[in-house]
């Protein structure tokens, strides 16, 4: 059965795109067939996986509006994952979708046409709580929240969790919140743990194991057009491999491992 995971946080700069690309690539290395969906009009996921959004003539925008079949828009990547790309045209999709009945289900309907071809579908949601994110949450089985280990990390988390609850009540009763993915984690300081502990206590939100460390390799990977897993061995790639294994084991019946904040 295909598992669809939304990676969402309306706060920007929390490593949603890096998490989507890296977990996708790590799952592909486990011989899992993976589709990643770029729902951000900035097209950062598309760019980071080696495709120039400015040169594409078809994107998820056309799929959501019914102009193209999803199978005709999918792209291959060097990371052995399939990409449903985004372009700046997606910025206008929100306004167009608002005028359509059942607008929250557009992505879910499109993914149903190709879901049988993939074991896992990862949705890179935009930094907002608009129609595109609602489409992602409505199409997903589960959601995780990338959360940077810095001051004020909790800003917006409560609002996102309220949105998830509303989606569960209205468009997707089966949606499950798995927890937070800790990013920009610095194990040398108590500050990172304090931030995670605050968010965990405040929102009763488990933190998935392992936390993702801060490393310059992520920026270098984005510029190269491939995930961080394709470069030299580094601590960021190792952490995402462990996170992907944690998720894949969970989807195959094992308990989900969470990070022990007190350790």
DSSP code, position 113 = T
Which of 184 and 174 is assigned the larger pLDDT?
174
Peptide bond into 43 cis (omega under 30): no
- Mean pLDDT, the chain, as a whole number? 90
Residue 200, pLDDT above cutoff 90: no
Q: Is residue 202 exposed (0-12), middle (13-18) or buried (19+ Cβ within 10 Å)?
A: exposed
CA distances from 35 to 228, 242, 248 (A): 17, 19, 15
For 17-36, what is each residue's pLDDT tens digit? 999 999 999 999 999 999 99
pLDDT per residue over 94-105, tens digit each? 888 888 889 999
Enumerate domains of the chain plus CATH numbers.
3-251 (3.40.50.300)
């Amino acid at each position: 059965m295909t598992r669809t995971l939304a990676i969402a946080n309306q706060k920007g700069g929390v490593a949603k795109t890096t998490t989507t690309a890296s977990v996708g690539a790590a799952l592909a290395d486990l011989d899992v067939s993976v589709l990643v969906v770029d729902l951000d009009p900035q097209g950062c996921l598309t760019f980071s996986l080696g495709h120039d959004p400015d040169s594409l003539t078809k994107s998820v925008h056309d799929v959501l509006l019914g102009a193209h079949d999803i199978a005709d828009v999918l792209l291959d990547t060097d990371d052995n994952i399939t990409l449903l790309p985004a372009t700046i045209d997606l910025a206008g999709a929100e306004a167009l979708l608002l005028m359509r009945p059942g607008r929250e289900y557009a992505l879910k309907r499109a993914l149903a046409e190709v879901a049988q071809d993939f074991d896992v579908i990862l949705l890179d949601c935009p930094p907002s709580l608009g129609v595109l994110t609602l489409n992602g949450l409505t199409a997903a089985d589960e959601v995780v929240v990338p959360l940077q280990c810095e001051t004020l990390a909790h800003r917006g988390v409560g609002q996102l969790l309220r949105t998830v609850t509303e989606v569960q009540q209205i468009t997707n009763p089966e949606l499950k919140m798995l927890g937070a993915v800790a990013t920009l984690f610095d194990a040398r300081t108590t500050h990172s743990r304090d931030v995670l502990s605050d968010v965990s206590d405040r929102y009763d939100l488990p933190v998935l194991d392992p936390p993702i460390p801060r490393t310059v390799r992520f920026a270098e990977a984005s510029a190269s057009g491939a995930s961080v897993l394709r470069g030299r061995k580094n601590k960021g790639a190792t952490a995402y491999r462990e996170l992907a294994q944690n998720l894949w084991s969970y989807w195959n019946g094992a308990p989900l491992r969470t990070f022990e904040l007190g350790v």
